[in-house]
Chains A and B, each alone.
Chain A
């Protein structure tokens, strides 16, 4: 692919994203465009999947709302509740307060949050990219099963994935985890490809990609907890001895100073994993969106300013998108590498 084609594709994608920004500008009824609102709307989770607005009408994919309120389970489509002032079966979306933008119910005078397991935009985005990952690898695995001969290198998708898997295995998992790498390889590879593909999908601004999934703290929290479980559930005796009775002078253990630090360490490691991935992807999305907002903020400043700023913003957006491609891989790589290192450290002494 030539450089020109890439630039054209990026520009086309941005052009596709533009109506969404325009619609965002139309949200505040006064016509005043609020970049903060627009960026936050994208970064935060929502009950519906807003694709674009066309001639003043929002094009929305309604998602299922599943809540258990004081009156029992409620399952309905989000379009029943997502417009202004809608109340459905005693449930509505709070516009301010502690539960802003969440489904709440009024029990007596108190605003209460029901148990909410709605398939939100982020949940759907995560499920979509997990499906992509699953289909990719099942298709690739079928290519191996079909071919009886192992003498030949696989081609096509299986070849591409094998190349990625082998490079991650050889450069990260095997050296970092150590001799028991085989046991942890499925988790680490799933984590790597889930994060990598989700990051990439996050850069595509077209439904069903484009949701802010790895920039959502719940997702990164889950991934970090998974790594924490992998580290601590399969930790060696030596690893736990190092935590509760490390090789330090006794007075450091008598007042359990070192054990305390080590126990805190168990939680700080995954916490760092969680925050790193979350913050990096969130920042990338925010910067690209903010650059996009420049175009709409400068609309009222005259054609010259708006035109030149559009060009500048476009250039920066192209640059940022390229950078985000790198970050997408880098963050997946770093997450996998650190998980492997933590697992490897807990395996020592075997």
Chain B
């Protein structure tokens, strides 16, 4: 039964001791610890939020970068395509011009050659005619020295003129 009987003296000391310790701990120990824990919790939370925001931003930047790269790629392809097209065009144009020029030069050369040939032929003909005339003159001089020959010729020429008038 003694174990079940509370003792006043012990209760007195317990009240004082517990009261003092509770007061000291409640004033100097627990608030400090709880505040620190709470502050750290908040700090960790804000840091996590910041990290999450940074992650989102980085993801955005990455996407933007990728978009820029893709745009640049497209631009490059376009430029290359344009360049190829203009190159082809230039080459084509050049070839055309060259061909035209060549054709023109050739044509001119041909024309000139023709003209020269014609001139040469004409002069040759003239010369041949002159030579022939001179030869004929010489031949005629020889042949027409006698009368008969002169009369025969007159006849021939007369016949010819008749047939020509014919």
Which A residues are within 8 Å of any B CB, using their own CB? Answer: 43-45, 66, 100-101, 115-120, 122-123, 126-127, 130-131, 133-134, 137-138, 140-141, 144-145, 150-151, 153-154, 158, 161-162, 165-166, 169, 182, 185-187, 189-190, 194, 216-219, 221-222, 226, 282
Q: Is the CB of B33 within 8 A of A186?
A: no
**Chain A CB within 8 A of B5 CB:** yes
CA of A217 to CA of B6, assembled, Å: 6
Q: List 6 A-B contacts (CB under 8 A).
A: A133-B21, A141-B33, A162-B33, A185-B34, A217-B3, A221-B11
Classify the secondary structure of A's interface with B.
helix
Give the B interface residue count (CB, 8 A): 33
Known: A126-B13, A145-B32. A222 touches B26 (CB 8 A): no
Instruction: Please state if B39 and A44 are interface contacts (CB–CB under 8 Å).
Output: no
A221 and B11 alpha carbons, distance in the complex (Å): 8
Residues of B within 8 A of A117 (CB): 8-9, 12-13
**Complex alpha-carbon distance, A217 and B10, angstroms:** 10
Q: Nearest 7 pairs between A and B by C-beta?
A: A186-B26, A137-B29, A123-B13, A141-B29, A117-B9, A218-B10, A141-B32
B147 smallest CB distance to A (angstroms): 152
Known A158-B33, A186-B25; further 7 A-B contacts with Cβ < 8 A? A43-B3, A126-B17, A133-B21, A134-B24, A169-B34, A185-B30, A190-B22
Closest to A286 in B: B3
Chain A residues with Cβ under 8 A from B28's Cβ? 138, 141
B7 in the interface (beta carbon within 8 A): yes
Alpha-carbon gap, A190 to B30, bound state (A) = 9
Q: A226 to B18, Cβ gap below 8 A?
A: yes
Given contacts A122-B10, A126-B14, A134 and B21 within 8 Å (CB-CB): yes
In the bound complex, do residue A190 and residue B13 qualify as a contact, i.e. CB atoms below 8 Å apart?
A: no
- The reply on B40 being an interface residue by CB < 8 A is yes
Residues of A within 8 A of B24 (CB): 134, 138
- Inter-subunit contact B34/A216 (CB<8 Å): no
CB of B37 within 8 A of CB of A162, answer: yes
A residues near B14, Cβ cutoff 8 Å: 123, 126, 218-219, 222
Is B33 within 8 A of A130, CB to CB? no
When the two chains form their complex, are residues A137 and B25 in contact, meaning their CB atoms are under 8 A apart? yes
